[in-house]
Chains A and B, each alone.
Chain A
Amino acid sequence: MSKLTKEQIDQFFIEQFESFEQQLNGEKSLPLHKTRKEAFDTYKQSGFPAPKDEEYKYTNIAKAFASHISSVETSDIELTKEDVQKHFISKLKAINLVFVNGELNTSLSDLKDLPGGLIIENINDAQTKYESDFASYFNKADMAGADNFFSLNTAFTNGGAFIKVEKSAIIEQPLACYFFSTSQKNDMISQPRNMIIAGENSQATVIENFITLGEHASFTNAVTEITLEQDAIFNYYKYQNESDKAIHVGATMVEQRGKSVFNAGSFSLRGMMLRNNLNIAIHKPHSETNMYGMYLLDGKSHVDNHSVVDHIAPDCESNELYKGVLDGKSKGVFNGKIFVRQAAQKTNAFQSNGNILLADTAEVDTKPQLEIWADDVKCSHGCTVGQLDADQLFYLKARGIDEKTAKSMLLKAFAADVITTVKVDALRELIEKNIEERI
């Protein structure tokens, strides 16, 4: 297949949706399918986001898709436990959930003997089994930041995970979600859709890790919806050390419906083109939101972090800190939006993005954006782009530290205020190892 036009991509997904509908059979009569169809209608109005869409100006997913995704077929590849386990984060004690091309694989996941207060279901079954939860928590299409990729994902909702942490449950072990694309024989498209409910006074941690297997390209359009109820504390980490043929768009849609604490960490190391949309709506006073991120790129990797924090309620605090280290011909994009609505008085919102370019062929585009309608708030934002400091490097070398170690020390120091926020030891150690290996 030669390079597709936008019209051809739009037509491609129309056909995909038709064949998807056919395979659904009886499920078509269930309420989820009405949502799917409405979402697809919304999607069709403007179709696949193209660069003329301001939000995708610096990250041309349409072009990457058109140039690299061709021979799409359904995969007949069966993964074994060994196949998936070698990609698990080492030394991490976790409840492992394995998704293959977007669908929760029950035999490869730890679904037996779940701790009390934790429910994990296939999302298709949950729509009837947990009908009221589904009605209340699924499809956050009205949130700021919900775009056409979100609608496309909703339209193809199938086989993802419904995760519920019940009232006052504390889940000690993190839930590690591994999303595999089986691109061994042909290009793969997957659209994982998960929903997580952090019940009242509950605590849990989720790690998402995306892995493309094989030499062919993958296009992943993932959505994870997270809702926090009163007094919930929820930690969310996203780790991307993808194949050079991976195109990824992932939206994390977070609603802090009750007074709650949400912590996010996003770590991107490799991929052809990765776009992370982190959208957070804060509905109740005295909530706290922390967003940390690091991108450590080389080669031709392109990583775009877009975030929207919507301060709807007063007396809340949000902190955002993203740091980037870019080498080779890599490209980083950071776009952080903060909305402070008129009612959101006494908001404290801070945002910062720092970058170090290790090569003059690397590039970063950074754009903070604040829109404030309230008049009694504390907000700040800032961004920096620089290089490793030659004086610092010389100082370390003048004490007998070789160049490689010295650079690694300086980069770790630069990233320290992001890395130290990772509460899961095995994940933090993995990221530190990534930094050392990269130098």
Chain B
Amino acid sequence: MLSIKNLHASIEGKEILKGINLEVKPGEVHAIMGPNGSGKSTLASVLAGREDYEVDKGEITFKGKDLLDLGADERAKEGVFLAFQYPIEIPGVTTTNFMKTALNKIREHRGLEPLDAVSFLTLMKEKMKLVEIDQSLLSRSLNEGFSGGEKKRNEIFQMAMLEPELSILDETDSGLDIDALRIVSNGVNKLKTPDNATIVVTHYQRLLDYIVPDYVHVLFEGKIVKTGGKELAKELEAKGYDWIKEEAGVAS
């Protein structure tokens, strides 16, 4: 589904990603872990099409298409979804209006009729339950005045509405208390199907108790230096990242 080969990316002339290789197949959950500044969020942003980053080398294909050829909106239409680490507040745009516009753009791309007001509301109500989000939140301006937990739940709610094939969760656990973390993880797990895939970017292992990965990749200084199963995350939690740094240092 997703194939990243020798990806190099930089921002303002500073190279952040230095040769990433990653294969993601339908139904899989991949965790990307790593110390701060290793390039985890950059990788998530590059996949979603953030223009601040320059891709210097390498290729990304998604369902056989060259992802780097597509703008952020086209990637979303193809089924890529980024749950933001810091969801953006947009005063004056209600969550409902935003979601309706986004959903109908994506449906249009998939050759589906736009949803009428009634079906849209029915769908919203159904998906809201998934992340236990209060309806009053949705008539308010997007993320404006939302608590950290509400913002993250709103991200997963959007994911539920748009039904992406590839979801990238960028440090969705940061700033979440344990109750909110369970709600969010539960939502993500319910959305899992054999046809979609998830990339979970996180600094800590805790989230992976709830969203269980098939693969854990350790990102360090812009490269994936180690790949393993879910037990690798536990090892990292117990031993910290220093031994990875040492191993990587020895290897290079």
Which residues of A come within 8 Å of B, CB atoms? 389-392, 394-403, 405-406, 409-410, 412-414, 416-417
Q: Please give, as numbers and ranges, the residues of chain B lying within 8 Å of A396 by CB-CB distance.
A: 90, 98, 102
Q: How far is the CB of A110 from chain B (nearest CB, A)?
A: 37
Give the complex CA separation of A413 and B142 in angstroms.
11
Assess whether A398 is in contact with B72, with CB atoms less than 8 Å apart.
yes
Assess whether B91 is in contact with A413, with CB atoms less than 8 Å apart.
yes
Check if B67 is an interface residue, CB within 8 A of chain A.
Answer: no
Q: Please give, as numbers and ranges, the residues of chain B lying within 8 Å of A389 by CB-CB distance.
A: 88
Q: Assuming A394-B72, A395-B84, is B105 touching A400 (CB within 8 A)?
A: yes
Assess whether B73 is in contact with A413, with CB atoms less than 8 Å apart.
no
| B91-109 interface (Cβ within 8 A of A) | 91-93, 97-98, 101-102, 105-106, 109
Check if B203 is an interface residue, CB within 8 A of chain A.
Answer: no
17 of the cross-chain contacts (CB-CB < 8 Å) are A394-B88, A395-B84, A395-B88, A397-B71, A398-B75, A400-B76, A400-B77, A400-B106, A400-B109, A401-B105, A402-B73, A403-B71, A405-B101, A409-B97, A409-B101, A412-B92, A413-B92
Q: How far is the CB of A432 from chain B (nearest CB, A)?
A: 13
Q: Please give, as numbers and ranges, the residues of chain B lying within 8 Å of A403 by CB-CB distance.
A: 71, 73
Check if B158 is an interface residue, CB within 8 A of chain A.
Answer: yes
Check if B188 is an interface residue, CB within 8 A of chain A.
Answer: no
Check if B82 is an interface residue, CB within 8 A of chain A.
Answer: yes
Give the complex CA separation of A396 and B88 in angstroms.
9
Q: Please give, as numbers and ranges, the residues of chain A lying within 8 Å of B52 by CB-CB distance.
A: 390
Stretch from B43-51, B122-130, B229-237 that touches the partner: B43-51
Chain B residues with a Cβ closer than 8 Å to the other chain, count: 30
Q: Please give, as numbers and ranges, the residues of chain A lying within 8 Å of B97 by CB-CB distance.
A: 409
User: A391, A398, A401, A410: which has the most chain B beta carbons within 10 Å?
Assistant: A398
Choice from B51, B77, B92, B102 contacting A394 with Cβ under 8 Å: B51
Assess whether B105 is in contact with A402, with CB atoms less than 8 Å apart.
yes
Assess whether B92 is in contact with A392, with CB atoms less than 8 Å apart.
no
Residue of A nearest to B94 (CB): A413
Q: How far is the CB of A286 from chain B (nearest CB, A)?
A: 31
Q: Please give, as numbers and ranges, the residues of chain B lying within 8 Å of A392 by CB-CB distance.
A: 88, 90
Give the complex CA separation of A34 and B203 in angstroms.
83
Residue of A nearest to B84 (CB): A395
Assess whether B102 is in contact with A410, with CB atoms less than 8 Å apart.
no
Q: How far is the CB of B199 from chain A (nearest CB, A)?
A: 15
Give the complex CA separation of A395 and B50 in angstroms.
9
Assess whether B76 is in contact with A397, with CB atoms less than 8 Å apart.
yes
Give the complex CA separation of A400 and B97 in angstroms.
14
Residue of A nearest to B91 (CB): A413
Q: How far is the CB of B56 from chain A (nearest CB, A)?
A: 20
Q: Assuming A410-B93, A414-B92, is B105 touching A398 (CB within 8 A)?
A: no
Assess whether B50 is in contact with A394, with CB atoms less than 8 Å apart.
yes
Check if B114 is an interface residue, CB within 8 A of chain A.
Answer: no
